[in-house]
Amino acid sequence: MKVTRRTFVKGSAAVGGTLVASRFLPSGFQTLLKTEAAPAAAPQEEWVPTTCWIGKQDCGILARRINGRVVKLEGHPGNPLNVGTLCPKGVAQIMAIYDPHRVRTPLIRTNAKGVSGQWRRASWDEALTLVAGKIKEVRAKDPKLLVWQKGRSKGKAFYDEAFVKASGATKLHHGAFCSDAGYRASEYTIGMSGVLHPDFRHVRYLLAWGWNITNAGGNQLCWITWPQQLSAARERGLKVVAIDPRLRGAGPFTDDWIPIRPGTDLAFALALCHRLIAQNTIDREYLRRYTNAPFLVQADGTFLRIDGKEQVWDEQRGVARPYDAVAVRPALEGTFTVSGAPVRPAFQAFKDHVSPYTPEWAAQVCGIPADAITRVARELGEEARIGSTTVIDGVTLPYRPVAIMAYHMAQQELGFQAVRAMLTVMMLLGAVGAVGGQRIDVGGWAIHENFEKLDRIKITDPPYNIYLKDSPYFPINSNNSSLVARVMLNPDKYGVQDRPEMLIVHMANPMVSFASQPDLIESYKKFPFVVVIDPWLSETADFFADVVLPAATIEKYEGPSKASDQYLDGVALRVPPMQPLFQSRGDIDIYLDLCEKAGLLYGRGGYLDHLNAALKLKAPHRLPLDRKPTVREIFDRWAKSEGIAEGVAYFEKHGVKVKGPIPAAKAYGYAADPPFGGVRHRFYGEALLRYQAEMRARGAAEIYWRDYTPFPTWRAPTMTASPAEYDLYLITYKMIEFKQSRSSFIPLLNELAPRQRLDINPRTARERGIADGEEVWVESHHALTGETRKVRVRAHYTQAIRPDTVGLPHHYGLWSHPGAKGQGPTANALLFTGEGYVANTADQSFHVKVRVFKA
Amino acid sequence: MAMRVEPLPYRVGQISTGTLLLIVVLLGVVAQGLYAFSRQLTEGLVVTGMRDIGTMGGPAWGLYIAFDIYFVGVSFAGITTAALVRLLNLHALRAVSRLAEVLTIIALILAAFSVLPDLGQPLRGVVHLLKYARPQSPFFGTFTMVIAGYLFASLVYFFLDGRRDAAICAARAGRLQWFYRLWAAGYRDTPAERERHRRVGFWLSLAILPMLVIAHSTLGFVFGLQVGRPGWFSALQAPAFVIMAGVSGVGLLIIIAAIVRTTLEAQDRLTPEVFRWLANFLMVLTAAYIYFMLVDWLTATYAAPLHESRVTSALLFGPYARIYWPSVAALVAAFYLLLRQFLTGRYSIAVTVLCGALVNVAAVGKRLLIVVPSQTHGAMLPYPSGTYTPTWVEYSIIGGLIALGTLLYIVFTKVFPVIELPEARQEMGHR
Amino acid sequence: MARYAMVIDLDRCTGCRACMEACKVENNTPRANFWMYVFRFEEGEYPNTRVWFMPRPCMHCDNAPCVKVCPVGARYKRPDGLVATDFDRCIGCRYCEVACPYGVNYFNWKRPERNQYLDWTDAEAAAVLAPYTNGAVPPYKNPDLERAYGPERRRIAGGGHLKGVIEKCTFCVHRVERGLQPACVANCPLFALHFGDLDDPHSQVSQLLRRRSHFRLLEEASTEPRVYYLGGKPPGSDTRQIETIRARA
Amino acid sequence: MRATLTRVIVLAGLILAAMSFALALPLRIPGVTVFATAPAGSDGAVPYLPALFILGIMLVFLAAVVYELLPDRSPPPWPPAGAGRRR
C-alpha cells in the first residue's frame, strides 16, 4: 500500500527497462533470458476471514490478499460448515469479483421496457434520489403496492426484516421454487421448520430421497456440509438407498438405487407405511405418547372432542378418555363406539387408509419392482431397532438410526403430502427426534409458529394480495412468484385488486430462475417501475429495470450468518476482503441510503428501529434512531450485544465465532424439555380436512382443495393427463458447477459445463434415432390447457436415468452477460405454473410431460 | 577467356521464362509460409490444429512432425544411392548419384526447418538443444545424428564428390567462376587426386551407411520407445522407419530423375537402365515395408491389449480409415506395378514414376498415421477420442517448406551440373 | 529428504471438481488446462448403473517417461519426488506430453494475455480492472509462482507464464516448500485427497497405505507413479466418461 | 603427415564425441542407471556438451576433407594397406 518515492522510481525503472527490452528484442529472445523478478519489497500478504458469497450457506472463507489484491479464497478451517474447504463455486467466485462485466455504476434506463436495455450511467445520488422518490410516492398511496422480491439475499435482518417492515412492502421470495412444500409439511406435522435430514453422526440406514448427494445441497445447508457428514457416516457403516429417477452421480455413495417414476414419491411412501404396519415394525410407544395417532376420529373425519378435548380409547378401562388423562393407556387400533357413534383411533383410520396401498400397487405407479419396496420396508424395520436406546450427553434416548434426506424433491404437485407421508413413515418407526433418526431443522428443537398458525385456518374474503395469501385457492401459501405472474395477468379471476406500482428486485433474477418463463416475461411488464439491486445486469434488469443499483459481491460487510452444521453452533460475518470494485456498494449501505432518502431510516418504526429488533440488539448497543450508522458500526454493536467484547474486530480477525457443541437437549426431540417442545405430532392432519371444508364452502374448485386431506392420499399428478405422445417425464436438477442461475457466466466454471444438456437414457434416445450430443427438441405439454412449449438442446447419454424420464439442469438460459451467451435454454422455459403445476400450497412443481424428437 | 561461349552442361546458368515463373510462384508459396510462421510466432501454436492430449482431445504433434519424418525419410535416397554406387560399384546409377545427394541435403535442411515451427520456443530450441540436450532423450539422436551428423557427412561427401565437376565448370568464364573455383579447391583431376578421392569416397560411404541406419532408427525410437502411447511401442518402429525412408526417398528420386531427364534433356545419361535399377530397388523396399505392415497388422489385431486395439480400430475402421486405406492401396498398387515390370521385364519410365508418386503419397499418409492416431485415440485413461484438422497455418508452413526445397533444388540445377559430367567431357575441361 | 506422495480416496470422492478449481486459482493455470482433472465415470446399463469419480493429478512418477524424453532437461525429478518443469528451460517440443500415458501435460498454446480467462488484450476489460489489480493477469495472479524453488533454484511453480512451453501439476511445489499441502488437497471438501511423506511412517499417507488396499494407475506401464488410489478399482474397458469436459485452448 | 593429421582429427572427433556424450549423462549418483531419472536434475556436467558432441561427429567427417584437400607432400601411408587393395 505504502509506496515511497524511492521504491516507486525503482519500480518504474524496472518496468521501463522491460518495456525498452521488449520494444527492441523479438519476444523470442527474451525467453532466453531468465527473468526471475527479484521483488523490490516482499509483497504484503494478509489473510482476511470472511464468508462465501455465492452459495446459500455462507461457508467460512480466508481470503489471501497480496498488496491489497485478493488472489485466492480458501476455506476457513474454523468454520463448522466447511472446515477449511470450498466447493468449486466457492473457489471460482474470485473470477466473479474481478468480472469486468459487472455493473460498474448505477444505471438508468433510456429505452422502452420489455426489450434489451439501453442505459445511462448515473451517480449514486441521482439514482438513489430517483428510487427513493418513487418509494415515497408509492407508499403514499399504499405501502403494499411496493413489492420487494429477493432471491438469494443474505443478511436477512437487514432486508427481509428491517426493510420490509419499515417500508411495509409486499415481500416475494424464492421458497416456492426451493423446498417450501416440505417446510410447510414439516411445520404443520412436526412443528419444525425444514424438510428432512438425518442425525448423520448416528444414522445407519438412509433413504436419499431425491437428494442430489454429489451435486446439490440438502436440507437447509449447502452441498459441502452434507456430503462431509454423509462420507463420515458411510465410513461408520451407513447404508444409503437412493430413491430418485436419476442417479445424480450418487454412485459411490449409494448401495441401492431405486429409480422411481417422477412425481410418485407419495405412492412409494404410502406403500412403505403399508408394509411397516403389515410387518408390525411400529413404534407404538412413540405414537401413543407424542402423536395424535391414538386420537379418536369420528365418521366425518373430525376428532371426537369432549369439552373441547380430543379423546383416546383407554385400553384398560374400555372407555374414551381425554388424551392427557392420567394413566391413560390409549388404543391405537380397533373400532369403538362412543355415544352410539362409531369412532376409531387415527392410527386405525390410517391402517384402513393405507390398506389398498400395497407394494404391488405402488410398484405399478412408481415403475419399480414391488420387492424394492418390500426390501426397503424390511430394512427400515430392522435398522430402526424399535425399542432400543442409547446414551447421549448422559441422557438415555431412543435409538432409531434410520432417516430420510429429502429437500428439493418437495417441489412437485403432490409435494406437501409426499413429505407428510415421508414424515409418517418416520413417525411409524418412531425415528423423529430419536438418536440417529429423523431431523428437520439444523437449528435444534424449536417449535415454529406455523405449527399453530396452520392449524388455525385463516381464509379471508377477497380482495387478496398478489400471491393469494389467505385465499381459498392456496390457504397454506408458500408465496410463489410464478403464480404471482399468473395472478397479475388475470387478477380478477382470483379476486385480486392490488396493482403493484413498484418492484425492487434484490439479488434475484425471476426472468430466468423461476418456473414458467413465458408467464414471468409477460407479467413483469406490468410493474410500472422496477429497481434491480445486483452486481450484474441480470436478464430481469435487462428487460424490465428502470434503475439498476450495482451491489458489491463478497467485498462488503454482511450477515450475521449461522455457522452450524447441526452439531456445532456458530455465527459468522462477511468481512470485505477488499474495497468494493468499481462504484459498487455493499447492499446494506444501499438500503441505509435508500431508507434515508425515502424518509424511512430514522425514528420509531423506521429502518434503524426495525434493525434493532431484527438483530436483537440489547442496550446499550442498540442503534440510536436519529443518526445513520456505518455498516461496520452496526455489526460492531451487534457483536458486542452478542457478548463479544472486541465487537466486529473479532470477526475481522477470526471470521467465525464457534459457540460450541449443540447439546442433546436441543438436538434431539426426545431430549428436549418438554419432549418435542410439548407438542403432539400430527399423524392425522385434522385441520387439512377443515381447510378443505372451508375452501369448498367458499366455492373453490376441486383442483384447489383435493389435496387437503388428513392423511396423504394418492392421486395421479395432473401432468399424467397429457396425451400419450408426451411420453416422457421431464425433471430438472442442479449441477455442482453452478449456483442457481447466477454463476454460469463465470468462465472458470462454465468451461466445466459450457452448455445446456438433456440427460436421456441411451435406449430412449436410440428409439428416437438420437445420437449422443445431437440436437433435439424438447416439447412440454400442459395437461389442462393443452399449451405446448419447446426448447432445443443437446442430448446427453446416461445410463443413470429412467428410460421414461429426461433431465435438464437449471443454471442456463442467461443472455445478458457475454460470458453466458449461447449456453442454451433454461428448463424454466418448458415448465408451467398455476393450477395443475403447483402444489396445494402454491409450491411450484418441476415436473412436466414432454416429448423429445430430433432437431 | 572471353571467347569461350560454350554453355555449361545441363542448362546450368540458363533460366527460361517458365523456370522464372516457377521460381516466382515458389517464392510466393514460401512467403505465405513465412507469413503463417509469423502469425504462429505472435499468437502461439493456437493457430494450429494441434491441442493437448487428454482433456483437450488433440494431438500435441501433427503435420510438422509428420513432415519432419517424411523429410528425413526422403533424405535416405541420396546417400544410400551414392554409397551403393561407391561400395558396390554400381556404375549404372552414377548418373543419379548427385541428384540423390542434393535431394538428401535439401530434405535434411527441410527436416531441420520443419521442427522449428513445431517448437513452442524455436529460438530456445536452437540454443537450449546445443546447451542442454540430453543423450537419454531419443530426440538427442535425431538432433545430433540426423540434423548435424548426417547432414554434415552428406555435405562433406557432396562437396568432395563435386570437386571434379566444379573444376570442369571453373574452366569457363562466367559470373559463378569464383564459386566453381572455390568448390574445386584446386582439383586438377590428376590420377593421384582421383585415387585419393576414390579412397576417401569409399571410406566416407562406409562411415555414412551406419550413420544412415542410426539416423533413421533414432527417428523410429522417438516413437518406438514410448510405452505410454499405444500403437508406438514396438521394436519394429526403427527398422520400419529405415525401410519407409528408403521407399519414400527412392520414390522421390525416381520422380526427380524423370523430371530432370526431360527438362534437362539428359536422356543419354538417365537411361531406362537407371530407372530399371531404381524401380527394382523400390520394389524390394516396398515389399519389405508391406511385410512389416502385415506383421504389424497381425500383431495389432490378433492379441493386442485394449488400448492398442483401440488405436488399430481407429486406423482400420475409424476416422483415420480414409487416410489409411488409400495409403495401403497406393503401396500395394505400386508394388504390384513394380513386380509386374520385374516379372515381365518390360520397364516403363512412366509406370516407375507413377509408382514413385504412389509410394510418396503413401509415405506422407503413413507418417501422419504414425504420429497422430496414437495421440488422439491412444489414451490409456478414458479420455474421449480426439480430433485433428490441420489449419491453414500448418498447411502454409509445410507448403512453404516444400516450395523452399523445390526452389533450392531448381537453383542448384541452375548453378551446378546436377548430373555428374561424363568421362568424355573431362578432356574439354582439362587444360 | 522427504518422499512425497498423494493418496486419493475414491470412496470419498464426489467428483465435485473443487480440486480442479482450487488448482486453477492457486496456480493461475490457463483456460482449459486442468493440471488436476476429475473423471466422472459410468459403468453398466440401466438400472445396474455404477457411477464413480477419479481425480487425476500428475502422477509424479519415479520412472517418469516425460523426464526420460525431455531433450533439454526442463522436466526433471527432484530428490523429494516432485516432477518439475523448468519453464525457463523448456523449448516447447511437447515430447513429454506425447510420452506421458496419463495425459497430464498442458502446453501454452496462446500468449499469456489471451491464455487466461477473459482476453486481457481487450483494452477495455484491462483498463476497467487495472485500478484494482495493478494490471495483474489473471487478476488473481499469485506472486509466489514467479520465484525459484529447490536447491537448484529453478522456476518451476505455477502456470500460464509464457507462450510455447509445457506445464503441468507441480504438486504445488511453492506451497509444499512452505510446509503447506497442495491446493487441491487442502481444499478437498470430502477430504478425499491426502499428501505427505512416504518416508515418515507416521504420516497420514503412510498410514493409509498400510491400512487400506490401493492401486496406482497404469502400473503396467512401469512408470512407478507417486499417486495412490484407495478403494475402487482402476477404470476398465467398460468405463465410460460422462460429463466430460471438452474445453480446448 | 597428412594421413597422421587425418587420423588425429578422426580420433579427436571420436574422443570429443564420446567424452561429451558421457559427461552429458547424469551418472553421478551411484545405483542410478543411465536411463533412470537422476534425482538431482538431469543436466549434463556442464552446458554445451551437446554442441561439443556434434562438433566431435563433425570433426570425424571433416577429416575426410582434410585428407583430400591437404597438399600431398609424402606418399600417403593412409589408408592402411588393406583399403588400398581395392582395384
Contacts of B163 in chain D (CB under 8 A): 68
Residue A599, pLDDT > 80, answer yes
**Least confident range of A29-38, A338-347, A742-751, B70-79:** A29-38
Q: In 3-state terms, chain C is what percent helix, strand and coil (to 5)?
A: 25, 20, 60
User: How high is the mean pLDDT in each 10-residue block of chain C (249 residues)?
Assistant: 94 95 97 96 94 96 91 90 93 95 96 90 87 90 92 90 94 96 97 96 96 95 94 92 91
Residue C187: partners with Cβ closer than 8 Å, 6 or more residues away: A74, A75, A84, A85, A86, A91, C18, C19, C22
- Mean of pLDDT values over D25-51: 61
Q: C85: which chain B residues are within 8 Å (Cβ-Cβ)?
A: none
- State yes or no: pLDDT of A851 exceeds 90: yes
Residue A712 to residue A424: CA distance in whole angstroms: 9
Residues from chain C contacting residue B137 (CB–CB below 8 Å):
68-71, 95
The span from the CA of B334 to the CA of C215, in Å, is 50
Q: CB-based contact (8 Å) between B381 and chain C? A: yes
Is the pLDDT at B187 greater than 90? The verdict is no
Nearest CA in chain B to D77: B196
What pLDDT score does A524 carry? 92
pLDDT score for C135: 86
- Residue-wise pLDDT tens digits, C113-131: 899 998 888 888 888 998 8
Q: How far is the alpha carbon of B376 from chain A, nearest alpha carbon, in Å?
A: 19
Is D39's CB within 8 Å of C77's CB?
yes
C24 touches chain A (CB under 8 A): yes
Which band of pLDDT confidence, cut at 50, 70 and 90, is reported for residue B86?
Answer: confident
| pLDDT tens digits for range A146-164 | 999 998 768 899 999 999 9
Measured from the Cβ of residue A418, the count of other Cβ atoms closer than 10 Å reads: 30
Task: Indicate yes or no: CB of C31 within 8 angstroms of CB of A257.
Answer: no
pLDDT exceeds cutoff 90 at B300: no
Residue A209's nearest CA partner among A184, A235, A245 is: A245
Q: Which residues of A touch C162 (CB under 8 A)?
A: 31
Q: Is B294 on the interface with C (CB under 8 A)?
A: no
Q: What is the pLDDT of residues A165-197, one digit of tens each?
A: 999 999 999 999 999 999 999 999 999 999 999
D41 contacts in chain C (CB < 8 Å): 73, 76, 78, 152, 154
Tell me if A31 and B124 make a contact (CB, 8 A cut-off). yes
d(CA A686, CA A297): 9
Lowest-pLDDT range of A796-800, B2-6, C104-108, C202-206 = B2-6
Interface of A with B (CB under 8 A): 26-29, 31-32
How many separate helices (H) and strands (E) can be counted in chain A? 27, 33
Residue B420 confidence (pLDDT) above 90? no
Chains sharing 3 or more CB pairs under 8 A with chain D: B, C
CB contact under 8 A, C91 and B125: yes
* A28:B127 CB<8 A: no
Query: In whole numbers, what is the pLDDT of chain A averaged over residues?
Result: 93
For A419-461, the pLDDT digits (tens) are 999 999 999 999 999 999 999 999 889 999 999 999 999 999 9
Answer whether C49 sits within 8 Å of A247, measured CB to CB. yes
* CA distances from residue A848 to A263, A472, A521, A681 in whole angstroms, order as listed: 9, 25, 20, 33
Question: Following DSSP, what letter does each residue of A435-461 receive, concatenated?
Answer: BTSEE--TT-S---THHHHTTS----P
Confidence at residue D24, expressed as pLDDT on a 0 to 100 scale? 81
Touching partners of B (3+ C-beta pairs < 8 Å)? A, C, D
pLDDT band with cut points at 50, 70 and 90 for residue A3:
very low
State whether residue B135 sits within 8 Å of chain C by CB: no
Q: Above 70 in pLDDT, residue A308?
A: yes
Q: Do C77 and D43 touch (CB under 8 A)?
A: no
Tell me whether B226 touches chain C (CB under 8 Å): yes
pLDDT tens per residue, range A361-395: 999 999 999 999 999 999 999 999 999 999 998 99
Q: Considering chain B, what percentage of its residues have pLDDT values greater than 90? A: 59
Picking from A826, A836, A731, A830, the residue whose alpha carbon sits closest to that of residue A789 is A830
Residue B249 has pLDDT above 70, yes or no: yes
- Looking at beta carbons, which residues of chain C come within 8 Å of A579? 132
pLDDT at A40 over 80: no
CA distance D15 to chain C (A): 23
Q: Is the model's pLDDT at A4 over the cut of 80?
A: no
Nearest CA in chain D to B146: D54
pLDDT of B174 reads 81
- Interfacial C residues in 183-242 facing D (CB < 8 Å): none
pLDDT at D42 over 80: no
pLDDT at B160 over 60: yes
Q: Which residue of C has its CA nearest to D42?
A: C73
- Give per-residue burial for B189-200: e unless 16+ CB within 10 Å, then b: beeebeebbebb
Task: Tell me the mean pLDDT in the region B192-206.
Answer: 88
Can you give the pLDDT at residue A27? 54
pLDDT recorded at residue A81: 95
Whether A contacts D, i.e. 3 or more CB pairs less than 8 A apart, is no
- Interchain pair D37, C67: CB under 8 A: yes
State residue A130's pLDDT score: 97
**pLDDT at residue A20 above 80?**
no
Nearest residue of D to residue B185, measured between CA atoms: D69
CB contact (8 A) between residue B148 and residue D58:
yes
Question: Is residue A842 a contact partner of residue A483, using CB atoms and an 8 Å limit?
Answer: yes
Average pLDDT score over residue span A657-681: 94
Q: Do C25 and A94 touch (CB under 8 A)?
A: yes
Rounded Cα distance between A358 and A587, Å, is 54
Residue-wise pLDDT for A604-625, tens only, equals: 999 999 999 999 999 999 999 9
The pLDDT score that the predictor gives to residue B71 is: 94
Q: Helical H runs in B320-389?
A: 321-344, 349-371, 373-376
pLDDT over 70, % of chain A: 95
Contacts of C20 in chain A (CB under 8 A): 88, 752
Of B54, B140, B380, nearest to C71 by CB-CB distance is B140
Q: Which of A34, D85, A204, A291 is nearest to B199 (CA)?
A: D85
pLDDT at A39: 54
- DSSP 8-state code for residue A658: E
Q: Hey, is the C-beta of D53 within 8 angstroms of any chain B C-beta?
A: yes
* Chains B and A physically touch (3 or more Cβ atom pairs below 8 Å): yes
CA distance C184 to C56: 11
Residue D44 has pLDDT above 80, yes or no: no
User: What value of ipTM does the predicted structure carry?
Assistant: 0.92
Q: For residue A175, which of A479, A562, A519 has the smallest C-alpha distance?
A: A479
Residue B252 is predicted with a pLDDT of 95
Q: How far is D55 from chain B (nearest CA, A)?
A: 9
Q: Which residue of C has its CA nearest to A759?
A: C243
Instruction: Chain B: give the shortest CA distance to residue D46, in Å.
Output: 8
Please judge whether B120 and C107 are an interchain contact, meaning their C-beta atoms are less than 8 angstroms apart. Answer: yes
> What is the number of other CB atoms lying within 10 angstroms of the CB of residue B424?
7
Q: Which of B123, B128, B130 is best to mutate for the A interface (most A CBs within 10 A)?
A: B123
Q: Is the pLDDT of residue B112 over 70?
A: yes
- B contact test, residue of C50, C54, C91 with most B CBs within 10 A: C91
Q: How far is C195 from chain A (nearest CA, A)?
A: 15
Which of the pair, D82 or B343, is modelled with greater confidence?
B343
% of chain B exceeding 70 in pLDDT: 96
Q: With an 8 Å Cβ cutoff, are C152 and D41 in contact?
A: yes
